[in-house]
Amino acid sequence: MTENNNKNFLKGLLSKKNKGSAQKTVPVYLIVILLFGIFLMIAGTIGKEKDETEKEWLRDNKNQQEIVETKATPTELEKIPDKEKAIQDRLAIMLENISGVSRVEVMVNLQGSEEKVYEKNTIFRQQTTREEEHQGGSREVEDGTKEEQIVIVRQGDQEKPILLHTKKPEARGVLVVAEGVSDLKVKEWVVEAVTRSLDVPPHKVSVLPREREEGE
């Protein structure tokens, strides 16, 4: 029974009450009970209704970059020593060009494999629910979710993700053994050259003097 029907029903009862004495008078307490029952029905309906609003928007994250760490395959793991040796050889040649430095040996320990950075779209969903409590009053419950999707483009017959760049593996530690680094100034130059070329903090770089051979 809707609210309008309830009102019409009450009007009908009241109009019957005002008619001639030939008709029976509706007791007042019956009208009060009926009104109270209608109030409970309306309150129950309101309690069951939930104010749910869902907001969904799609952000095109052209400037957002998500780093996706790819698991190193056995082939990639086999390539890590080769990469370390290539870095060691290039770094040794570079350090030997520093004034006062000679007979350089370098050991580089790389951490993990390469990380690929793909372009992503992010979808945010937020839902607010208003719930009526048994003791009276109401409370709002918010629930949010975040979903990320890699942007896929079609290239010919294939679909490929948009690769922004590939992050090289970080150096976990660097050891340099060379002649001439007993001089604190020369040692400082070597540490600076290593930290800048490999982008590692100074505390990960160890520079030690090389033992002189007999007869030198």
What structural domains does the chain harbor?
3-49 (no CATH), 75-113+169-209 (3.30.300.30)
DSSP for 169-205, written as a single string: PEEEEEEEEEETTTSHHHHHHHHHHHHHHHT--GGGE
Of 116, 95, 117, 114, which Cα lies nearest the Cα of 106? 95
In the block, tokens 């010919």 appear at 156
The lowest-confidence range among 12-21, 83-92, 114-123, 191-200 is 12-21
Q: Kindly state the average pLDDT of the residues 51-79.
A: 47
Angstrom distance (rounded) from CA 16 to CA 59:
64
pTM: 0.48
Helices (H) and strands (E) in the chain, counts: 4, 10
Q: Kindly state the average pLDDT of the residues 26-49.
A: 64
Q: Kindly state the average pLDDT of the residues 102-116.
A: 85
Higher pLDDT, 36 or 11: 36
**191, pLDDT greater than 80:** yes
